[in-house]
Amino acid sequence: MSVRKLAILGAAHGHVSYVTDGLAGRSDVELVALVDHDEARRRGFSEKLGVPGYADLDALHAQHAIDGAAVVAEPGLRAGLIEACLEKGIFVIADKPLALTVDEVDRIAKVDNGSNRVALMLEKRFYPVTRKARELFLNGEIGDLVAVTATGPHKLLPSARPAWFFDPSLYGTIVNDLAIHDIDLVLWLTASSSGRISGWKSPRHPEGHSTFSLAGRALLTLDTGVQAAIDMDWRQPEAAIRHGDYAMRLVGTRGRMDILFGEGRLLVQTDDRRLWEPDLPPPIGPAQDALDALTGVASLQVSTKEALLASRLAALAALSAENGGQDYLW
């Protein structure tokens, strides 16, 4: 069995654990190195993971030949790292957001050139509630889709956030960060390939961080005319028992489904059946799809094409939020 060599490029976000946890119990992938420009992070994660740490890609390549790279650097640095890896034929596992601007997304698409070498960890796709909801929806349980609403409250806990989180050049905006999951789910459910999108961000901000919006919205209108209203905020109360009470409501011509991501519950009601909760499939780890594709165990379930489209729409929504809510065609 061929063992794939993997490096982590940036450990800026806690989602690096998606990859390290996903490696547990696998013998077909070996983590061989870490790259991080931040010396303290580099030293800490190098010791924690038991691999050498390097300050940049050149230093890494001088010592290692790698098959895959997990890019979890600050969002504003990700596009450049992804492009550099693709140019060397390295398979990329990326945290979201993949990039901050439409131009960055388009550059990644150009370098990938349809090779399906970028795996974006859109973990909501693999939640048991999501997979069951899609199964029921495609089987016609609630009829034709009428509308979608999604909410994504998150705890901010500003004192626990790194400085880059409040730097727009490194973080982007709330719309860049939090809209992509639900945009992807709507596209996945409907297989839509065109429409329009707009965005909004709140003028309210946490004390001392005037460029950081506490709330945002993306309005995704599909070619069928169905609209998805995707709300997100950083105001999940600090005393709440969950980091976020994320949810999505699918309204259909025969009923509705409430996907309670935070609670892990799926509520279904139809015109001829009262509220019920279906049995759910087992969980799938957020990096499993990417690691399976890296090792050849299976093809990507979230294709690079799908990841790029969802990323492009999130970037357009973020641009719209900066431009007074202007609509963009896609």
Residues recorded for the chain: 330
Helices (H), 122-210: 128-138, 168-171, 174-178, 180-190
The percentage of the chain sitting over the pLDDT mark of 90, rounded to a whole number, equals 99
Type of residue found at 97: P
Kindly report the pTM of this predicted structure: 0.96
Per-residue buried b or exposed e for 137-147, using 16+ beta carbons within 10 Å of the residue's own CB = beeebbeebee
Cα–Cα distance for residue pair 61/7, rounded to 1 Å: 10
Q: Which residues, 6 or more positions from 185, have their beta carbon under 8 angstroms from its beta carbon? A: 124, 125, 130, 150, 248
What are the residues facing 6 on neighbouring strands?
A: 31, 68
CB atoms within 10 A of CB 181: 24
Widest pairwise Cα distance in the chain = 65
pLDDT band at 1 (very low <50, low <70, confident <90, very high): low
**Structure token pair of residue 173:** 């905006």
- Over residues 89-138, the pLDDT tens digits come to 999 999 999 999 999 999 999 999 999 999 999 999 999 999 999 999 99
Cα–Cα distance for residue pair 100/308, rounded to 1 Å: 12
- Over residues 57-80, the pLDDT tens digits come to 999 999 999 999 999 999 999 999
Q: What is the DSSP letter of 123?
A: G
The predicted pLDDT at position 213 comes to 98
Helices (H), 57-127: 57-63, 75-87, 102-112
Cα–Cα distance for residue pair 13/170, rounded to 1 Å: 12
